[in-house]
Each structure stands twice: as C-alpha cells, then as structure tokens.
Amino acid sequence: MKTLAEAFEHTLQDIYYAEMALTKALPKVAAAAGNAKLKQAVEHHLTETKEQVKILDKVFKSINKQPKGEKCDAIEGLIKEADGLMEEASGKALDAALLGAAQAVEHYEIARYGTLREWAKVLGHDEAHDLLGQILDMEKAANATLTGLAVTVVNEAASKKAA
C-alpha cells in the first residue's frame, strides 16, 4: 500500500472479512452464554452484524469496488481467544469472560470503523463516510449494551462464590 486509497480499500476488505467471520462465531458465543441477557445481546448483535455486511456491500458499491474480504488476523485472534474461553471457563465466570471477549471485538470494530469513516471523508467518499458512520454508531451502541450488562449483572454474579 502506497496511498491512502489503497489503505482504505485494504482495511475495508479486512473489516468485511471480520464481519463475515463474526456471523459464524457469534452463534457459538450465544449458545455458550448462561446469562439470558447476555445471550440476547449476542443474538441481537448477530442480527446487526448481518445488517452491517449489507451496509458494507453498499460501501463497496459506492466506491465502485466488488465486496471482498481479506483475511483479518486481528478478528481471527479474537475469535480464537473466545473459543479458548469457552473451553476453559464455566458458569458465571464464562459469562464474564465471554462478555470481555465480546467487548474486545467491539473495541476493535470501533477503532476500524472510526478510521475508515475518516479516511472516506478525506478521500471524498461521502456516501461511504455516511454508511461507515452508521455502522460505527451500531458498534458503539453494542459496546454500551455490553458495558451495561457487565456493570449491572454479569461481573457481580461472576464475583460470587458458587454455593
């Protein structure tokens, strides 16, 4: 990559891959969650993730490119971490660990979409800027939901010793 346009396209392909990978990983996370509200939040985000893929298709179209993913090592690592947690943790500790892993994904996505949105603006891709801003808002809202669950329910429950 030698230009911002090339970095933009590469990063767009990276996040496209990430969202597609998440559509496969989130059902496993939802199934592993013991807390009903956490399970519901993950399932809701799966629905949003599928919508985000459709919005990304529009972003690609707006810059006259075909939607295409490029392997995202970051999301692969975050998914691998969640898989390991599902093998190692159990009970309420698993819920807290899954919630933390989900927030790590959200933080990654917020960073990526924030960068992409601003690059789109500088590159004059107004439609892409607006569409990426929509996804960024969705990711921020998902993170806020997870934070709310952590501080009101999940972390406290996980801190108590099993009877």
Taking only the tens place, the pLDDT of each residue in 63-116 is 999 999 999 999 999 999 999 999 998 888 898 999 999 999 999 999 999 999
Task: Specify the pTM.
Answer: 0.93
Give the contacts of 63 (CB within 8 A, at least 6 positions apart): 9, 12, 125, 128
Taking only the tens place, the pLDDT of each residue in 10-46 is 999 999 999 999 999 999 999 999 989 999 999 999 9
Query: What residue segments make up the domains of the chain, in order of their start?
Result: 4-157
Neighbours of 98 (CB within 10 A): 25
CB 26 within 8 A of CB 46: yes
Q: Which CATH architecture has domain 4-157?
A: Up-down Bundle (1.20)
Q: pLDDT-based confidence at 161, cuts 50/70/90?
A: low
pLDDT higher than threshold 80 for residue 163: no
Query: Token digits for 99?
Result: 């919630």
Query: Token digits for 73?
Result: 């090592």
Query: Token digits for 5?
Result: 């346009």
Mean pLDDT of the chain: 94
